[in-house]
C-alpha cells in the first residue's frame, strides 16, 4: 500500500449535561486525510484548503499526533500527510480531533501497526494538547469510535461506547471566534453541590434514555444548569436559537464543544431539517456569517476509504 | 378483600458515584405490612417489633404517607396498619421508605385505587419528608419499582428504571447511630467543578455498565470523590471494610444511604458471602454490634403477598 485515505467526521462534545465527557459523531462534514510513507525521518503536511493551518509538524495537531505514534514505534522513516479540511477550524465541532484522529488511523492502516482504537485515541490526544492545552478526549473519542461515547477518565484513558437509538442532529456554526481558553476561563472553579447533583442525575438519565431509546426521557434529561448559563453569553441569539429549535420539534440541544456551534437533536431527518430552517431564520438578519449542517448520528468514526 | 399484606424490601441508595439519585432493591430483609379498612376516619398504627416507633400517625412515616393518599381520594373512612419491621430503623438501608412504600401499595390494592407506581412513590415521599426533612426519592424509588432506579428529578418526580445484570450485595450494619441531618450537614455546599465532572463521568459510565452488563467497567466506575471522603469518618473501620471486601472479590461499594451501613457489590452469591465474611472479620473485635445481610438485587419492589 502506497497511501491510505480516510474520512474523519465532525463531532459534537459536551452534549448539554455531559460536559467534558459525552460526545457523538456526525456523518458529515468530514475531513479527507491521506497519509503516505516517505524515506526522510520527518513529517510533511500539505493542506488543500483555505484555512492557512500551520504546516510545521510541531505546530500542527496531525503532526503532533503522528510524531507521538512514530516515536512509539521507533520509526526510522517519515510520513507525508495531505489534509482537505471540510470541518472549519474553530467551529466547535471537533476540527482538530478530526485531523489528529484521521492522521493516526490512516498511518496505522498504512504501516500495519494494528494499534487498538484506544491506543490511537491516546496518540490523537497529543494533538488536542497542542490545540487546547489539555489532553482531552471528548471529541477524540466519538471521532475514533463513532456513535455516542463517554470518556470516563482521560488519564488513564477509559472510553465507553454507549448504546443509542436512531437520531439526527442540526448544527449551526455562527462564524465568530470563541477561543477555547476563554470559554474555559469563564467557567466557575466551584459549583453548588445541589447543581452538581442535578447535573449528574440528568447525565445518568440521558445515558439510560439513549440505551432504552426513550426519546421523551432523553428530552427531559437535556438540561444543563452549570455550563450553558455561563457560556451562552458568548453565542449571539443562543436563547432564540434554542426556542425556535424546540418549536420546530427538537428534543433538546445546546452548545457544541466550547462553541460557537449550537446543535439540536431530532428523532427524524425531516425534523432536523425543519430545525435547521428555524435556526437559519434566527440568524438570517444577524449580520453574522453562518452555515448549517444536518446529519444522522453514525456508528462509524474515522473511516478508511482506500 | 378485608386486608392486604405486602413485603417491602430494604434498599441501598446513593451507590457510590450516584449520590442523591441512584438506588437498588434487595430481596431481604423486608418489612411485613398489613393494611385494613376501618370505619373511623383515622389511621391506626400497630407495631409488632421492638423498635418503639411512634404510633401517632402524624409522627409515623407510614401514617403520613397514608394520610396524603387518603386525602387525595377524599376518603370518609380510615385505615389500620400493622407493621413488622425487619429492617432496623436508622440502619441506612431504607427502613422508613419500606414502611411508607409498603403502606401505600397495600392501601392501593385494598381500596382498588389503581394509582401508578409513580403516584404511590409521590405519596411515600411524604413519609420521607417526616423522616429526613426532605421529599427524597432515592430509597422510595427502588423500594417501589425494584431493581436499580435513578431519580432524575424529585419535583416533579421523574424515576428511571435502569437495565442491570445479575448482581449480589453484601451489607454490614454497624449498630451505631448516624443522624441523617448530621450526615447532610458535613457535606460541602460547593464542590470543585473538576471533582463534579469526574463524578458525573463515573455515574454516566456506571449507568452504561449496568445496561451492558460490563462488570469490569462497573467496577472502574464505582468511585466517589465527593461524598465518601467526607462521610466515611462517621463509620468506624470504613477503609478496612472496603479493603477486605475488595480482597474478597467485591466489584466495589461504599456507604449505603447516609450510613452507617456499608454495601459491596458482587457478581455471584458465593463472592457476596465471602465479602460478608471478610466484613465480619473486620468488625469482629470492634466492640460494636453489627449484622450482615447477603442478597441478590431483585427486580421487584414492594410485593403484594395476600
Can you give the pLDDT at residue A135?
86
DSSP state of B244: H
| Contact predicate B194/A194, CB 8 Å | no
Closest approach of chain B CAs to the CA of A5, in angstroms?
A: 33
What confidence tens digit (pLDDT) does each residue in B190-239 have? Answer: 999 999 999 999 999 999 999 999 999 999 999 999 999 999 999 999 99
φ/ψ (deg, to 5) at A199: -65, -45
What confidence tens digit (pLDDT) does each residue in B100-123 have? Answer: 999 999 999 999 999 999 999 999
Task: Provide the β-strand partners of residue B66.
Answer: none
For a pLDDT cut of 70, what percent of chain B falls above it? 100
Q: Is A128 a catalytic residue?
A: yes
Are the Cβ atoms of B190 and A187 closer than 8 angstroms?
Answer: no
pTM of the model: 0.96
Considering B11, B34, B169, B180, which one is annotated as catalytic?
A: B180
Are the Cβ atoms of A19 and B208 closer than 8 angstroms?
Answer: no
The dihedral over CA atoms of B234, B240, B245, B249, expressed in degrees to the nearest 10, equals 140
| Contact predicate B155/B10, CB 8 Å | no
A&B contacts, CB < 8 Å:
128
DSSP state of A90: T
Cell 431493581 locates to: B147
Find the farthest-apart pair of alpha carbons in chain A and give their distance in angstroms, rounded. 58
Element (H, E) at A25: strand A22-38
Q: What is the DSSP string of B198-234?
A: HHHHHHHHHHHHHHHT-HHHHHHH---SSSHHHHGGG
Q: Which residue of A190, A193, A203 is in closest CB contact with B204?
A: A203
Question: Which of helix, strand or coil describes residue B141?
Answer: helix
Q: How big is chain A by its Cα radius of gyration, in Å? A: 19
Are the Cβ atoms of B207 and A202 closer than 8 angstroms?
Answer: no
ipTM of this predicted complex? 0.96
Find the farthest-apart pair of alpha carbons in chain B and give their distance in angstroms, rounded. 58
CA dist B243 and B232 (Å) reads 13
What confidence tens digit (pLDDT) does each residue in B126-162 have? Answer: 998 888 888 889 999 999 999 999 999 999 999 999 9
Are the Cβ atoms of A200 and B200 closer than 8 angstroms?
Answer: yes
Can you give the pLDDT at residue B184?
85
Give the Cβ contact number of residue B81 at 10 Å: 25
With contacts defined as CB-CB under 8 Å, which chain B residues touch A192?
189-190
Q: How far is CA A259 from the centre of its chain?
A: 11
Sequence-ordered strand ranges (E) for B78-196: 78-84, 148-153, 158-162, 168-174, 190-192
Residues 6+ apart with CB under 8 A from A199: A17, A19, A224, A225, A226, B196, B200
**Which three cell numbers mark B292?**
450482615
Residues 6+ apart with CB under 8 A from A180: A131, A132, A133, A257, A258
CA dist B234 and A86 (Å) reads 57
User: Is pLDDT of A1 > 80?
Assistant: no
| Contact predicate B56/B118, CB 8 Å | no
Can you give the pLDDT at residue B180?
74
Considering A34, A169, A180, A271, which one is annotated as catalytic?
A: A180
Average pLDDT rounded to a whole number, residues A56-82: 97
User: Is pLDDT of B96 > 80?
Assistant: yes
Can you give the pLDDT at residue A47?
94
Q: Which of the four pLDDT bands, split at 50, 70 and 90, describes residue B183? A: confident
Q: Which of the four pLDDT bands, split at 50, 70 and 90, describes residue A39? A: very high
Q: How big is chain B by its Cα radius of gyration, in Å? A: 19
Peptide bond into A260 cis (omega under 30): yes
**Which three cell numbers mark B261?**
451501613
Q: Is B128 a catalytic residue?
A: yes
Q: Is B40 exposed, middle or buried (0-12, 13-18, 19+ CB in 10 A)?
A: exposed
With contacts defined as CB-CB under 8 Å, which chain B residues touch A203?
200, 203-204
Q: Looking at chain B, which residue has its C-alpha nearest residue A152?
A: B201
With contacts defined as CB-CB under 8 Å, which chain B residues touch A196?
191, 196, 199-200, 226
CA dist B28 and B90 (Å) reads 16
Task: Provide the β-strand partners of residue B168.
Answer: B266, B296
Can you give the pLDDT at residue B41?
95
User: Is pLDDT of B274 > 80?
Assistant: yes
DSSP state of B163: P
| Contact predicate B177/B90, CB 8 Å | yes
User: Is pLDDT of B49 > 90?
Assistant: no
Q: How many residues does chain A have?
A: 306
Can you give the pLDDT at residue B117?
98
The dihedral over CA atoms of A211, A212, A214, A220, expressed in degrees to the nearest 10, equals -50
User: Is pLDDT of A198 > 80?
Assistant: yes
Can you give the pLDDT at residue B12?
98
CA dist B306 and B5 (Å) reads 5
With contacts defined as CB-CB under 8 Å, which chain A residues touch B14?
none
From residue B19, how far is each of A201, B14, B157, B200, B226 by CA, in Å?
Answer: 9, 4, 17, 10, 9
Lowest mean per-residue pLDDT among A175-189, B40-54, B96-110: A175-189
Q: How far is CA B254 from the centre of its chain?
A: 14
**Average pLDDT score, chain A:** 96
**Average pLDDT score, chain B:** 96
Q: Which residue of A152, A196, A206 is in closest CB contact with B221?
A: A152
Element (H, E) at A30: strand A22-38
User: Is pLDDT of A181 > 80?
Assistant: no
Buried b (16+ CB within 10 A) or exposed e, A282-302: bbeeeeeebebbbbbbbeebb
CA dist B194 and B226 (Å) reads 11
Amino acid at each position: 500500500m502506497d497511501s491510505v485515505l480516510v474520512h474523519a467526521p465532525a463531532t459534537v462534545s459536551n452534549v448539554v449535561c455531559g460536559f467534558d465527557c459525552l460526545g457523538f459523531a456526525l456523518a458529515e462534514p468530514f475531513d479527507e486525510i491521506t497519509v503516505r510513507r516517505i524515506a526522510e525521518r520527518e513529517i510533511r503536511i500539505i493542506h488543500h484548503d483555505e484555512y492557512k493551518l500551520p504546516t510545521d509538524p510541531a505546530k500542527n495537531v496531525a503532526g503532533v499526533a503522528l510524531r507521538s505514534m512514530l516515536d512509539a514505534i521507533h520509526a526510522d522513516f517519515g510520513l507525508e500527510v495531505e489534509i482537505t479540511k471540510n470541518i472549519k477550524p474553530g467551529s466547535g465541532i471537533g476540527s482538530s480531533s478530526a485531523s489528529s484522529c484521521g492522521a493516526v488511523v490512516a498511518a496505522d492502516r498504512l504501516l500495519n501497526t494494528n494499534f487498538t482504537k484506544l491506543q490511537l485515541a491516546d496518540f490523537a490526544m497529543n494533538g488536542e494538547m497542542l490545540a487546547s492545552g489539555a489532553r482531552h478526549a471528548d471529541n477524540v473519542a466519538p471521532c475514533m469510535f463513532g456513535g455516542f461515547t463517554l470518556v470516563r477518565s482521560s488519564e488513564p484513558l477509559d472510553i465507553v461506547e454507549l448504546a443509542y437509538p436512531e437520531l439526527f442532529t442540526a448544527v449551526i456554526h455562527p462564524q465568530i471566534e470563541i477561543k477555547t481558553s476563554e470559554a474555559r476561563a469563564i467557567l466557575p472553579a466551584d459549583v453548588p453541590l445541589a447543581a452538581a447533583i442535578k447535573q449528574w442525575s440528568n447525565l445518568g438519565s440521558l445515558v439510560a434514555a439513549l440505551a432504552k431509546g426513550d426519546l421523551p426521557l432523553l428530552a427531559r434529561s437535556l438540561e444543563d444548569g452549570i455550563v450553558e448559563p455561563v457560556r451562552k453569553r458568548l453565542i449571539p441569539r443562543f436563547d432564540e436559537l434554542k426556542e425556535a429549535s424546540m418549536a420546530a420539534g427538537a428534543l433538546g440541544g445546546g452548545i457544541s464543544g466550547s462553541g460557537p456551534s449550537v446543535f439540536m437533536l431530532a428523532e427524524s431527518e425531516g425534523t432536523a431539517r425543519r430545525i435547521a430552517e428555524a435556526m437559519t431564520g434566527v440568524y438570517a438578519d444577524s449580520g453574522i456569517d453562518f452555515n448549517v449542517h444536518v446529519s444522522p448520528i453514525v456508528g462509524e468514526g474515522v473511516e478508511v476509504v482506500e
